């Protein structure tokens, strides 16, 4: 059967770096994801991380350097911090079918929708307060305008973004 895994699976770490700092010391990284999905590989070398330092950062794996045998990433390609986030960035999820979209949750009780092409503005496309610090965000696998959110005091909620079902241009990419 093709579902049977190989017997000798090897796991190897290839990259490590202090992605977030707080008061000059390494800070906890609470979330990370690849910026890609099954339909698009435009940002396949990009990672999105969030941490205790109230910052969301984007990293390009191609900007790595070898430091004493360890692969290190020198600096983020984008960093959005306290100008947008009032608490730690706790959850990030790349959209399962849109080329440029992802969402982030924070202990500041908000979920934000971001567009990779508009990060230099440091403004999300939109945000919603979910009534509690966000623990998890998960896109619906088939309904492209729906996010499931787990929040500390806000419980579980479903966030709908109705335009995502309709806001694609003629070539299929995000508007």
Each residue's pLDDT tens digit, 102-132: 999 999 999 999 999 999 999 999 999 999 9
Cα dist. 43→2, 124, 157, 166 in Å? 29, 18, 29, 23
Mean pLDDT, the chain, as a whole number? Answer: 88
Cα dist. 173→69, 157, 169 in Å? 40, 28, 6
Q: What is the value of pTM for the model shown?
A: 0.85
What local confidence, expressed as pLDDT, does residue 91 receive? 98
Specify whether the CB–CB gap between 109 and 132 falls below 8 A: yes
**Which of 76, 62, 174, 59 minimizes the C-alpha distance to 125?**
174
Each residue's pLDDT tens digit, 44-102: 999 999 999 999 999 998 887 665 556 666 689 999 998 999 999 999 999 999 999 99
What local confidence, expressed as pLDDT, does residue 17 receive? 81
Q: What is the percentage of the chain residues whose pLDDT exceeds 70?
A: 87
pLDDT band at 169 (very low <50, low <70, confident <90, very high): very low
Specify whether the CB–CB gap between 49 and 56 falls below 8 A: yes
- Residue 74 burial by CB count (10 A; 0-12/13-18/19+): exposed, middle or buried? exposed
């Amino acid at each position: 059967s093709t579902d049977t895994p190989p017997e000798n699976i090897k796991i190897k770490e290839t990259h490590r770096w202090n992605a977030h700092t707080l008061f000059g010391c390494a800070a906890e990284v609470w979330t990370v994801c690849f910026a890609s999905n099954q339909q698009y590989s435009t940002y396949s070398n990009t990672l999105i991380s969030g941490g205790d330092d109230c910052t969301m950062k984007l990293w390009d794996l191609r900007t790595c350097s070898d430091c004493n045998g360890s692969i290190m990433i020198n600096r983020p390609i984008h960093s959005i911090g306290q100008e947008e986030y009032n608490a730690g960035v706790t959850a990030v999820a790349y959209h399962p079918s849109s080329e440029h979209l992802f969402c982030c949750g924070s202990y500041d009780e908000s979920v934000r929708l971001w567009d990779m092409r508009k990060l230099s503005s440091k403004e999300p496309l939109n945000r919603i307060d979910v009534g509690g610090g966000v623990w998890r965000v998960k896109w619906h696998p088939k309904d492209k305008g729906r996010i499931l959110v787990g929040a500390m005091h806000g419980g579980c909620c479903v966030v709908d973004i109705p335009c995502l079902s309709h806001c694609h241009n003629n070539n299929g990419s995000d508007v």
